[in-house]
Amino acid sequence: MKLTLLGAPGAGKGTQSDILSRKLGVPTISTGNILRSAIHDGTSVGLAAKSYIDKGQLVPDNVIIDIVQERLSKPDCANGFILDGMPRTIPQAEALIAHGIELDSVLSLEVSDEDIVERMAGRRVCPRCGASYHVRGTALIVRPDDAPETVRDRLHVYHEQTEPLKGFYEKLGLLHSVENVGSIEDVSREIFRSLGIVE
């Protein structure tokens, strides 16, 4: 299956794409993870991407399209893949089609902005000790772009540039929408049902 997950930042795309990946036996390709590892390694892609990510903006389409095209050409994607966080713009979706990358389904995970803001605040708690501040008094922020002001920018970018993809894929008959409410397991079950995956 060739699938992509749409959803606002913090909507649960990473969690659900990992579950789908195990279920379907195909790799998850997260453009956010690829970019973060490029930044960590100090590559030219990482250097180009960092200032956009830090500001909660989208990395330019041409950078993303090159990364994804290269990754999808690897042998482990031959039987399918799950894209997590790509496409995020109509030009990215059009580029996939232009490069002959045909998706079977598009899953939109729906969460209200209020819930997103609450969830992201929860992420700023140490997963090991539960503290929101460490001894040296610095606020613990798991990802720099999860800071509240950046989350607001990312939500704005999502509504403006990524949400129109729902209409784009609905017209192509590929869109499935699932509300991300309840436990992770309940949402997975609803996703499997919506995509016609036998449990």
Q: Which of 23, 36, 124, 143 is catalytic?
A: 143
In terms of Cβ atoms closer than 10 Å to its own Cβ (0-12, 13-18, 19+), residue 109 is buried
Question: Could you give the CA distance from residue 147 to residue 10 in angstroms, rounded to a whole number?
Answer: 12
177: which strand partners?
Answer: 108
Do 12 and 109 meet the contact criterion of CB atoms below 8 Å apart?
A: yes
**Min. distance of Cβ 198 from ligand AMP in angstroms?**
29
Q: Which of 2, 13, 71, 119 is catalytic?
A: 13
Q: Which residue type sits at 28? A: T
Residue 143 a catalytic site member: yes
When asked if residue 168 is in the footprint of ligand AMP (CB under 6 A), the reply is no
Q: Which of 123, 124, 152, 166 is catalytic?
A: 123
When asked if residue 2 is in the footprint of ligand AMP (CB under 6 A), the reply is no
Q: Which is nearer to ligand AMP, 66 or 186 (CB)?
A: 66
Kindly tell me which residue out of 6, 72, 82, 86 binds ligand AMP, with binding defined by CB under 6 A: 86
Question: Could you give the CA distance from residue 165 to residue 128 in angstroms, rounded to a whole number?
Answer: 37
**Min. distance of Cβ 34 from ligand AMP in angstroms?**
8
Residues 102-161 that bind ligand AMP (CB under 6 A): 145, 154
Residue 189 a catalytic site member: no
Question: Could you give the CA distance from residue 157 to residue 145 in angstroms, rounded to a whole number?
Answer: 13
Q: Which of 2, 71, 119, 154 is catalytic?
A: 154
Do 183 and 112 meet the contact criterion of CB atoms below 8 Å apart?
A: no
SS percent in the chain: helix, strand, coil, step 5: 55, 15, 35
Give the 3-state secondary structure of residue 68. Answer: helix
How is residue 183 written in tokens?
């436990």
Residues 18-77 that bind ligand AMP (CB under 6 A): 31-32, 35, 52-53, 56-59, 64
When asked if residue 93 is in the footprint of ligand AMP (CB under 6 A), the reply is no
Q: Which residues bind ligand AMP (CB under 6 A)?
A: 9, 31-32, 35, 52-53, 56-59, 64, 85-86, 88, 92, 145, 154
State the catalytic residues. Answer: 13, 88, 123, 143, 154
